[in-house]
A and B are shown apart, each in its own frame.
Chain A
Amino acid sequence: MTAAAHPAATQAVIDRYDALRAMVDRALAAPAGDAAATARAAPVLEAEARLVDARAYGAWLDLFTADACLWIPLHPDDHPARDQALAFDDRRRLSERAWHMHDRQAWAVTRPRPLTLRHLGPVAAWPEAEGWLATCALSLTHVRRGPPVRLAGRQVVALRDTDAGPRITAKVLLLPELTLGTPHLGWIM
């Protein structure tokens, strides 16, 4: 099917998906990070991880632009236009995740509330036409009921400068363990 066959609205979705995939490929194959770009991006990644662990969801959401997305593919090679994912969130669904984490009837993520810790490895970042591209390895620990859930992976993040400083426009979580299977990840964001 050629791109011209799509209505503009559909094409925009496909373009967004292609751009996300290309962004991940770029980050994984990039040379050593750029010092200035890393200095701008690293504090945002650190804050994002810390705020979500602290359940400071308002401040956490403020780190994302209105057009931001979160993509969690089931395999690092996947494409968002072709493969089922664990999650592909727009900003609205991100805010629903935040709301859900506080809902006392969200049985799987409340009473007891989950204790999570996101541990980030060193950040590498590069300047992009618009903003920056950043990546780091990370480990996630989730403790609630039953055995702790420990996941390791890598995140790839796109950032853009705004009046309020650098903000996240896209976050991709690559978690190899998803290929084997995990307990439910209702808490992931």
Chain B
Amino acid sequence: MTQDTTRPDAIVARGPDLTDLIDRLVRHDVVHRSLYTDPALFDLEMLRIFGGTWVYLAHDSEVPAPGDFVRRQMGRRQILIVRTEDGGLRGLLNRCTHRGTTLVGEDGGCAKRFVCPYHGWSFGLDGRIQNLPVPDSYDRLYERPFDLGQVALATRAGFVFGTLAAEPMEIDTWLGAAGPWLDQHAARYPGGRMGVQRRRLTQEYGANWKMSWDNAADGIHATFAHASYNHLGKEADTDTVLARNPADTPMVSKTLGHGHCVVDQRPGIPDGPWSTMRPLPTREALEDGLRAKGVTDPATWDLMTGDMVNLSIFPNLIFVGNQMMVVEPVALNRTRLRFYLTHAPDAPEEIDLMRLRVDEDFLSFGTPDDFEMFERVQEGLAVEEEEWIDISRGDGAGDVLGADGLVTGTVASEAPMRAYLAEWKRLMARPIPTTIRRARIEDSRFMQTIRRREMAKKGA
């Protein structure tokens, strides 16, 4: 391992070994409040979780043509996901290698190259430095590592993940049992073609980012926290899935390894997802339009709403309804959620017109109540003397441990919480070796010079 951080190929494991502390904080049946209240742990999360493991960054379809890029967040780092001339993808750090200026100020666009506005250095789509004004002002320019820093990328079913880990797990190994669920999600779109809306909705709550994970597979809260939304459904004679008695719903939650989990609501709705939809603006007209086109296939109608499978890929991707909800920690007690609405470009046009309106419903009448709960939990956790939060629900009381080590439970089970915290523990306990990739570290003249010097030293 090259720990000299002045070298561009440095592999550095940052921060202390916290194995003992982490073991004390996360027990099998309880978790310590400091996971939500300790700024030092938050800082480490930005390194080890949002950097040391795979993080969802973008969907392949968002950058279809060479030069297309989107700007995304990976912990505290801005990453440009760029389609290169050869059709590949790069994850470039949005950070000029001269003094650090961010190269791009927009959320996305199309570029021929990235030119730094400060002193005019320019970089190719693959991150290589292309030009810098007054090059003679450097004594040995070839020795300087001026190509843009990059993260490693891997794609599954069009979903693009990135990491700074020096030796990341194979993406399919890391996704594990969640991989086929992701494939299944993508396969639902006609022609396997899923699109992502250019405009994303951004909302913030005043609480720790892990509240989203405590909530992601929490089937009980829907009946209580979302009581108002459910009553709206009743007023409209539509029994929303959430309104049912959680104790006798056949829905199941499953842990999928590495913190991922899924709640499958389909067993609870034999008539399919569309049957759960409330009246919505434009709904009647678009249904008429679909009927006029002779579309009767239930799968196409169901495509107007989510698939009733709540898949969560730790640490930052949660599928809800027609949206991908991406979790961006901003501060210990502040979290930004990005809602990316997906669409079905190869389906009848009515489908996407309807999808535009579907998720506004829950965002108006449901999501605010989730945020309210997260913020009130954060307030409650300020009590220092109440140190522990119970996470034992379901354990020995309904959870079924499979031969694969994964747990299936009722929607009341807190197995998904215990599972993501186990992954949190794995990542947080010890420093994770990370490295910045660069376009041509290995064959750069810089590296050749370094090697030559090292050989000379050995010879001497």
Contact = CB atoms under 8 A, between A and B. Distances in A.
Interface of A: 1, 6-10, 12-14, 69, 74-75, 78, 80-81, 83-90, 92-93, 96-97, 99-100, 103, 105-109, 145-146, 178-186
B326 to A, nearest CB: 12
A181 B292 contact: no
Contacts of B357: 88
B259 to A, nearest CB: 25
B85 interface: no
B5 interface: no
A87 B369 CA distance: 17
Contact of A10 (B201, B289, B356): B289
Contacts of A146: 206, 375
B373 A13 contact: no
12 contacts: A8-B292, A13-B285, A81-B353, A84-B341, A88-B282, A99-B232, A107-B228, A108-B369, A178-B201, A181-B203, A185-B203, A186-B364
Contact of A186 (B204, B206, B368): B368
Given A13-B282, A69-B281, A107-B373, A100 B203 contact: no
Given A10-B289, A10-B349, A85 B356 contact: yes
Contacts of B282: 13, 88, 90
B171 to A, nearest CB: 28
A84 B199 contact: yes
Interface in B341-378: 341, 349-350, 353, 356-357, 359-361, 363-365, 367-369, 371-373, 375
A179 B106 CA distance: 11
A75 B285 CA distance: 26
A103 B364 CA distance: 14
* Main secondary structure on A side of the interface with B: mixed
Interface string B193-222: 000011111111110000000000000000
Given A84-B356, A96-B232, A182-B204, A9 B292 contact: yes
Q: Of residues B205, B361, B369, which shows the largest number of chain A Cβ atoms within 10 Å of its Cβ?
A: B369
Nearest to B107: A179
B140 interface: no
Given A105-B227, A108-B369, A89 B289 contact: no
Given A1-B349, A78-B199, A88-B356, 10 more contacts: A9-B286, A10-B286, A10-B353, A84-B341, A85-B360, A99-B235, A106-B369, A181-B202, A183-B203, A184-B367
A97 B364 CA distance: 8
B285 A12 contact: yes
Contacts of A178: 201-202
B336 interface: yes
Contacts of B341: 84
Q: Of residues B281, B285, B336, B375, which shows the largest number of chain A Cβ atoms within 10 Å of its Cβ?
A: B281
Contacts of B232: 96, 99-100
Contact of B353 (A13, A69, A75, A89): A13
A108 B279 CA distance: 23
Contacts of A108: 368-369, 371-372
A13 B203 contact: no
Contacts of B452: none
Contacts, number: 131
A186 B360 CA distance: 11
B228 A93 contact: no
Contacts of B369: 106-108, 186
Nearest to B357: A88
Nearest to A74: B199
Given A7-B293, A83-B199, A85-B360, A184 B285 contact: no
B390 interface: no
Interface in B319-338: 336
A103 B204 contact: no
Contacts of B442: none
A153 B360 CA distance: 20
Contacts of B227: 105
B451 interface: no
A11 to B, nearest CB: 8
A186 B226 CA distance: 13
A93 B54 CA distance: 40
Interface string B127-155: 00000000000000000000000000000
A22 B336 CA distance: 33
B368 A184 contact: yes
A9 B285 contact: yes
B77 interface: no
Interface string B278-298: 011110111011001100000
B177 interface: no
A86 B367 CA distance: 12
B372 A107 contact: yes
Contact of B350 (A10, A78, A86): A10
Contacts of B289: 6-7, 9-10, 13
A181 B334 CA distance: 12
A81 B365 CA distance: 22
B356 A181 contact: no
Contacts of A180: 202
Contacts of B375: 145-146
A93 B201 CA distance: 20
A103 B281 contact: no
B225 interface: yes
Nearest to A101: B228
Contact of A105 (B228, B350, B363): B228
Contacts of B363: 86
B372 A86 contact: no
B201 A100 contact: no
